[in-house]
Structure 1
């Protein structure tokens, strides 16, 4: 099915409903949730997914796993999507948290094919075998480090949100501890408890995730690196590769 809402198809008597949708640049899907789990794949463009627990950036040819009943907002930046809506009883073992996942060439072709299947596909025929293979492939995917966890403590959350608006590689845990009027040791413990990461790890992850959106908009690596406070594009690219596994110039070009 294409360019229709899962709300109209949710009670289809099949474990998986596949829908393809094209979105205009900058289209925002306000916060909502689904009864089924959702695998949201972007064939083109970049998606920004937000929940109360964090933010995820999904480059083209990757996907985001959204468990059932998780409220989420999605900003579409030139995206053509393929979505699988999966009954909770048929969910693959991807857990109960949102995550960005890799998409193999086989899975990509299966997703493209799935949206053209009949809504009430033959469960025992070729179409049912295709859907079952898709679910098997989902169980083999790997999680990508494109999640920015957000803390619950209001004052710390405010600092994190401000950083995401204007990343700065020179900001230090000492500066944040001073702003919160706590010791550095207390800050480091609080930050890890609230985000599951050290401050430096979080700062680097945030820079990578924010950079992906700007790269998708066609901005130069040099401009992004300087805006984020890096001394050179090479220093930024080294950090980006260490965190994301690929240099910024390649990350949006492959489905790896």
Structure 2
């Protein structure tokens, strides 16, 4: 049976402003711009937006990018497409090397919502080949602008061909329900009942259950399972032992976690983990 998480003090969060997107603005001469930041776990990049779309990924470490509509878990095997002018924030789940590719509007796909993409070997190579020197400094490679213009059409083609994966957790517009949802996202191991969670926001269990149906089109149990799965999948993808993932997800036994996982995905956690490790070393 799932366990109720014991009381503990959360790790301190370091909050930083947007990571200088103005120093990497794409234009007609340089339609692709790439930036790189090394950030520690529990760093929070505050809500911001910019007038060009971006592709965010990490070469190591797992991040969670959030918008007004939901939260997206992004392990190193995936990238997240964020449309232009969409407010977003980023939470570092673990130490990460964060890379962001900005694209000029005329070049980018016309997607209007966030998309989680599987990174192909070619896509990864193209993104890592881009110069990450900010404006105001000479590029490390003097040929960077020319190379960016040559890389751009092939990278966009790879983005449009990429497999899109549903690994998001939708968030409600109701402020009280959003507070409840965000509390679970901060601590997926907490197995408090819906009645207990409802009390923390001054609502009845019945009211909260109705809000889940009305705002998100799913039950509390369905949403909680999706949130726990979004937390567990990247842990498995980077090779964490199933027993550790089960504990981090609030399960007292591996068997209970495996049963939930298989019911949700049709596969065991071990088979998913093996597939991801193979893909990463291919």
Q: Which of 58, 81, 87 is residue 42 of structure 1 equivalent to?
A: 58
Inter-partner Cα distance in structure 2 for 1:217 and 1:110: 22
Q: Does 1:249 align with 2:270?
A: no
How far residue 195 of structure 1 moved from its aligned partner, in angstroms, is: 2.1
Q: Which position in structure 1 is the counterpart of 2:227?
A: 206
The Cα shift of 1:67 comes to 0.9
TM-score, normalization by structure 2: 0.71
Note if 1:100 corresponds to 2:116.
yes
Closer, same or farther in 2 for the Cα pair 1:226/1:136, shift >3 Å?
same
2:7 maps to which residue?
A: none
Q: Any conservation in 2 of the 1:12–1:120 contact (CA below 8 Å)?
A: no
Instruction: Tell me how far apart the structure 1 counterparts of residues 84 and 267 of structure 2 sit (CA, whole Å).
Output: 29
- Is the Cα–Cα contact under 8 Å of residues 26 and 103 in structure 2 kept in the other structure? no
Residue aligning to 2:22:
7
Instruction: Classify 1:245/1:7 alpha carbon distance in 2 versus 1 (closer, same or farther; 3 Å).
Output: farther
Change (3 A) 1:67 1:140: same
Listed as ranges, the gaps of 5+ residues in structure 1 are none
Range that drifts further, 232-241 or 168-177: 168-177
Distance 2:84 2:156 in 1: 16
The partner residue of 1:66 within 82, 89, 100 is 82
Q: 1:113 to 1:229 in 2, by over 3 A?
A: closer
Aligned pairs, how many? 246
Tell me by how many angstroms 1:48 deviates.
1.5
Contact in 1 for aligned 2:31/2:103 (Cα 8 Å): yes
Deviations 1:160-197 (A, max 9, x none): 223223336866667778973364xx755531331243
State which drifts further: 25-34 or 193-202. 193-202
TM-score normalised according to structure 1 size? 0.77
Unaligned residue ranges in structure 2 (runs of 5+): 1-18, 133-140
